[in-house]
């Protein structure tokens, strides 16, 4: 079991541990991350080992100041600058061209890097005090359900790490939206709380009036351009049967999870609900999906992946 710490003393201990090359559980507003100091290649390699994640699956750099984006990147587009100025700090990750000094251990050998500025105050204070970016994938074992509390992190990888900083339950509950800013049009590679509608509105506000050019596309088909986002992911052991309408759910005694009502609340509890199925050894559950709009895209995406057969 890892030690779960909190408060100012816990934050100081976390900064100290990161500085000394340890990897620690760190709260963010989306899900808990497994953090390492980005410039410490050995610490970053341990993340891959602990998660059981292939070395080619790149990590997200978490920053606390805008100038850290400039340091990590090159050839930033104006659209990217606009997006981050509106959405940061918050649940948006941008893919940008990596500066030459960025470790290829973090980027999985790519010449692009994923960057986000979390809104969680605890994460901000830790990264600010450390003074350098941290990389942080979700703090779950590869392919498992992401953690939204310190206890989830402990249950999944507590045997492997020494320290988890408890910042309370995550406000949002699903991973950040990933937007590839190296392509034209921009591409949304992963849905999250910054919705496609948000991205369109922000980008459109910078396009010539009436041009109808919102220059955003959703990656809907073909192999994922964000490695690590395979079909079955975020998966509980239970078989999930998806329904678009509660009216089609058979009354067969299996539990029914409804995510079609308040989508904000649905996102917050999503992974907790999936974990509970496993804790209760439920073999099959019916899931009612929210409509495909706003945060509904992220919920449908995670639930479709959780339901996909091996
Ligand atoms: O909300 C979040 O983003 C959470 C919290 C902890 O910040 N982090 C997170 O990290 O979800 P992770 O490692 O579980 O997911 C990162 C995703 C992966 O699918 C990866 O393929 C993609 O980001 N990614 C990272 N760098 C990339 C790059 N250079 N090009 C394309 N995709 C990239
Ligand atoms: Mg993950």
Instruction: Give domain limits for the chain.
Output: 3-165, 239-307
Residues with CB under 6 A from ligand 1: 28, 30-31, 33, 57-60, 93, 95, 107, 110, 112-114, 136-138, 175-176, 178, 189, 225-229
Question: From CA 260, how far away is CA 249, in angstroms rounded?
Answer: 13
Q: How many other C-beta atoms are found inside a 10 Å radius of the C-beta of residue 248?
A: 10
Expressed in angstroms and rounded, the spacing between residue 136 Cα and the centre of ligand 1 is 8
Expressed in angstroms and rounded, the spacing between residue 85 Cα and the centre of ligand 2 is 25
Question: From CA 119, how far away is CA 220, in angstroms rounded?
Answer: 28
Question: From CA 173, how far away is CA 295, in angstroms rounded?
Answer: 11
CA distances from 281 to 86, 157, 274, 278 (A): 43, 20, 11, 5
What does residue 214 show for φ and ψ, rounded to 5 degrees?
Answer: -95, -10
Q: For 3-165, give the CATH class.
A: alpha beta
Question: From CA 256, how far away is CA 147, in angstroms rounded?
Answer: 22
72 CB-near residues (< 8 Å, 6+ apart):
61, 63, 96, 98, 99, 102, 113, 115, 133
Q: Tens place of pLDDT for every residue, the chain, 310 residues?
A: 899 999 999 999 999 999 999 999 999 999 999 999 999 999 999 999 999 889 999 999 999 999 999 999 999 999 999 999 999 999 999 999 999 999 999 999 999 999 999 999 999 999 999 999 999 999 998 888 899 999 999 999 999 999 999 999 999 999 999 999 999 899 999 999 999 999 999 998 887 665 545 566 665 444 456 665 655 566 788 999 999 999 999 999 999 999 999 999 999 999 999 999 999 999 999 999 999 999 999 999 999 999 986 4
**Overall pTM surpassing 0.75 (yes/no):** yes
Question: From CA 261, how far away is CA 246, in angstroms rounded?
Answer: 11
Q: Which atom of ligand 1 is nearest to the CA of 139?
A: 6
In sign, the C-alpha dihedral spanning 29, 35, 40, 42 is: negative
């Amino acid at each position: 079991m890892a030690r779960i710490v909190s408060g100012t003393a816990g934050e100081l201990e976390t900064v100290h541990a990161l500085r000394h090359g340890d990897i620690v559980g760190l709260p963010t507003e989306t899900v808990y991350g497994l953090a390492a100091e980005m410039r410490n290649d050995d610490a970053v390699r341990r993340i891959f080992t602990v998660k059981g994640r292939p070395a080619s699956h790149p990590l997200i750099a978490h920053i606390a100041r805008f100038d850290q984006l400039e340091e990590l990147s090159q050839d930033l587009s104006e659209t990217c600058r606009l997006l981050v100025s509106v959405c940061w700090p918050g649940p948006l990750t941008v893919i940008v061209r990596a500066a030459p000094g960025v470790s290829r251990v973090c980027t999985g050998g790519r010449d692009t890097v994923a960057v986000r500025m979390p809104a969680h105050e605890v994460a901000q204070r830790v990264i600010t005090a450390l003074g350098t970016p941290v990389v942080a994938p979700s703090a779950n074992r590869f392919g498992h359900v992401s953690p939204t509390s310190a206890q989830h992190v402990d249950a999944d990888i507590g045997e492997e790490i020494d320290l988890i900083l408890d910042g309370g339950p995550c406000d949002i509950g699903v991973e950040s939206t990933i937007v590839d800013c190296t392509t034209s049009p921009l591409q949304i590679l992963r849905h999250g709380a910054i919705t496609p509608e948000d991205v369109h509105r922000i980008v459109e506000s910078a396009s010539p009036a009436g041009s109808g050019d919102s220059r955003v596309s959703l990656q809907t088909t073909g192999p994922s351009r964000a490695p690590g986002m395979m079909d079955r992911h975020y998966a509980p052991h239970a078989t999930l049967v998806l329904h678009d309408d509660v009216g089609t759910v058979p009354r067969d005694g299996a539990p029914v999870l409804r995510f079609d009502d308040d989508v904000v609340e649905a996102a917050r509890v999503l992974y907790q609900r999936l974990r509970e199925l496993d804790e209760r050894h439920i073999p099959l559950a019916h899931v009612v999906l929210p409509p495909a709009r706003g945060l509904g895209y992220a919920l449908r995406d995670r639930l479709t992946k959780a339901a996909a057969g091996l």
